[in-house]
Amino acid sequence: MNNPWEEISLDDYENHMSLDCVKQLQAMNEMMKEQFEAYPATTAMVLGVAGGNGLEHVRRDKYQTVYGVDINEDYLRTVSERYSNLTDILKCLNIDLTHNADQLPKTQLLIANLLVEYIGYDAFQRVILKVNPEYVSCAIQINTDDKQWVSDSPYLHAFDRLDEVHHQMDEKSLLAQMQEIGYKDILKKRLCYLTGRHW
């Protein structure tokens, strides 16, 4: 059976995420602006790039290569069209992170916003070990309700199958997993946990 993320239309995802009652698309955009600027990196990878929200903050005078990784090929086609101005910098990769992390290239900065929830800690560790970034910047959503963790909206049923791949997140567990593979916590913000390798 295919991954539920391969069946969710980008319109449903972006419309849901941008609703006034959700506002995650807007929050993630601001966060990515900070993430792209915060580190002395010239290469970056965005896991779960979806429609490319935040890629407009990629500066040509800073980045040589930015990889956008997603399991949904339609999302990546849209990213390529939307950000055709970054054609020489942006490389879109259609990869299932739970099974094919070995196909990932190395980069200095790894960005994973609202992604770890859908691949789990172990797969995230494997991804990091393969990419071997100096910096990992990620936002996780900590849910207080185990049953209703997707915000209510007219698009709610587009996400019905996500229960199949969703993992409940815990800040301490994520930090412990990162420390286990040689990363330390260097900056933490509300909903955003940023870690860096010992250097």
- pLDDT digits 0-9 by tens, 163-187: 899 888 888 899 999 999 999 887 6
Distance CA 166, CA 95 (A): 18
In this prediction, residue 127 has a pLDDT band, given cuts at 50, 70 and 90, of very high
pLDDT for res 187: 67
Amino acid identity, position 123? A
- Position 149 scores a pLDDT of 45
Helix axes 171-180, 116-131, angle to 10 degrees: 20
Pairing of the two strands 192-197 and 135-139:
antiparallel
User: Which residues does 114 contact at the CB level (< 8 Å), separation at least 6?
Assistant: 24, 28, 48, 139, 140, 141
40's tokens: 């002395």
Mean pLDDT of the chain, nearest integer: 87
Tell whether the model's pLDDT for residue 24 goes beyond 70: yes
> Domain spanning 4-197: which superfamily?
Vaccinia Virus protein VP39 (3.40.50.150)
**Based on the number of CB atoms within 10 Å of its own CB, is 74 exposed (0-12), middle (13-18) or buried (19 or more)?**
middle
Tell me the pairing of strands 90-94 and 109-113. unpaired
pLDDT of residue 191 exceeding 50, the answer is: no
Predicted TM-score (pTM) of the model is 0.89
pLDDT at 192 over 50: no
Element (H, E) at 186: strand 183-189
CA distance 142 to 144: 7
Look up residue 198 and give its two tokens: 């010992």
